[in-house]
């Protein structure tokens, strides 16, 4: 077993070296944590946002800690069930590697949605939080209490060309993104269609970072440095403003 681990590690290092040599330096490398949740929808939104911004991207699907390296320009932590994500990560040390990457690269952007926001605000007992905001799991209620509502956003995002929804085929694991609508008609407003699925809630009195999205009087999105956390699912809307923000910030930090 030890021999196989060493072989896999050497293979991964070789792949990193090849990517560094063969890929253009201007390409944005997005690490997408494949723990749970709407991972494929995030990938589709990232591809659409890259087309809108005319930025070349490489989406690196992260399933193991050894796949998290310094060549990543940004990271997406998708939604799901945070407890299950922590357990699923243990065997491959993925969360440990992601947290280490965020500590080593504090100026590289991170987007965490729903459970991803929980992991940023509450990464674990021995880990310093990546957000200056407390958060509560499933605070809106059970699955049947999930809802959609218009959210007011104040985050400055780069504009992009209107494009048709991307038709993505099934991948090698037989996954396929859910159909998403075209939210381009709303992108000139400050309104955003929020999809809240067993959503967490920020502890409002504990927020010490910048609010960027609100539902009425309640803050549902925050920005702390280069870490953007949303309690809703922008990847399910066809409105790619938050994904454009991520790619643009990553492109600027290269």
pLDDT in tens, 52-63: 999 999 999 998
Is residue 13 in some structural domain? no
* φ/ψ of residue 201, rounded to 5: -135, 140
User: What pLDDT, on the 0 to 100 scale, is given for residue 93?
Assistant: 82
pLDDT at 119: 93
Q: Does a structural domain hold residue 228?
A: yes
* The pLDDT of residue 51: 93
In a domain, 59, yes or no: yes
Residue 20 lies in a domain: no
Residue 197 lies in a domain: yes
Beta carbons within 10 angstroms of residue 232's beta carbon = 28
Q: What angle do CA 98, 198, 195 make, to 5 degrees?
A: 90
pLDDT value of position 60: 97
Whether residue 82 contacts residue 118, with contact meaning beta carbons closer than 8 Å, is answered with: yes
pLDDT at 75: 97
Q: State how far the Cα of 34 lies from the Cα of 40, in Å rounded to an integer.
A: 9
Among all residues, which ones are annotated catalytic? Answer: 114, 233, 235
Residues in the chain predicted with pLDDT less than 70, given as ranges, are: 1-25, 36, 80-92, 139, 162-188
- Measured CA to CA, the distance from residue 44 to residue 50 in angstroms comes to 10
What gap in Å lies between CA 51 and CA 244, rounded to an integer?
A: 10
Q: In this structure, what token pair is assigned to residue 237?
A: 């809307």
Residue 11 forms part of a structural domain? no
Could you tell me if 76 and 34 are in contact, meaning their C-beta atoms sit under 8 angstroms apart?
Answer: no
What CATH number is attached to the domain comprising 119? 3.40.50.880
CB-based contact 126:99 (threshold 8 Å)? no
Domain that holds residue 229: 27-252
Let me know if residue 203 belongs to a domain: yes
Q: What is the pLDDT of residue 1?
A: 42
Picking from 75, 71, 67, 92, the residue whose alpha carbon sits closest to that of residue 12 is: 67
Condensed to tens digits (0 to 9), the pLDDT of residues 174-188 reads 555 555 545 444 566
Cross-strand partners of 30 = 59, 74
Query: pLDDT tens, 61-77?
Result: 998 999 999 999 999 99
- pLDDT for the residue 145: 73
| CB-CB contact of 116 with 229 (8 Å) | yes
- Give Cα 82 distance to the centre of its chain: 14
User: For the residues of 191-233, what is the DSSP string, one character each?
Assistant: EEEEEESS--EE-GGG--SEEEEEETTEEEEEEETTEEEESS-
pLDDT at residue number 140? 76
Q: What is the pLDDT of residue 164?
A: 62
Query: pLDDT value at position 186?
Result: 53
Mapped onto helix, strand or coil, the DSSP state of residue 33 is strand
Q: Does the residue 14 lie in any domain?
A: no
Domain count, the chain: 1
């Amino acid at each position: 077993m030890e021999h196989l681990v060493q072989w896999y590690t050497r293979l991964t290092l070789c792949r990193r070296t090849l990517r560094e040599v063969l890929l253009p330096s201007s390409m944005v490398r997005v690490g997408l944590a494949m723990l749970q949740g709407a991972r494929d929808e995030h990938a589709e939104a990232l591809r659409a946002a890259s087309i809108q911004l005319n930025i070349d991207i490489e989406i690196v699907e992260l399933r193991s800690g050894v796949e998290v390296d310094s060549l990543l320009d940004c990271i997406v932590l998708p939604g799901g069930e945070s407890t299950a994500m922590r357990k699923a990560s243990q065997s491959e040390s993925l969360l440990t590697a992601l947290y280490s990457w965020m500590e080593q690269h504090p100026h590289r952007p991170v987007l965490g949605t729903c459970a991803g926001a929980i992991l940023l605000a509450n990464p674990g007992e021995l880990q310093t939080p990546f957000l200056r905001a407390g958060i509560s799991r499933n605070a809106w209620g059970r699955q049947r209490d999930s809802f959609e509502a218009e959210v007011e956003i104040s985050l400055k995002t780069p504009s992009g060309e209107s494009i048709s929804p991307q038709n993505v085929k099934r991948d090698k694991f037989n996954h396929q993104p859910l159909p998403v609508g075209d939210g381009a008609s709303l992108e000139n407003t400050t309104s955003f269609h929020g999809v809240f699925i067993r959503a967490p809630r920020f502890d409002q009195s504990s927020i010490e970072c910048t609010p960027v999205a609100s539902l009425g009087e309640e803050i549902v999105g925050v920005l702390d440095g280069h870490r953007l956390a949303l309690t809703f699912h922008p990847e399910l809307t066809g409105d790619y403003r938050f994904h454009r923000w991520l790619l643009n910030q990553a492109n600027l930090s290269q």
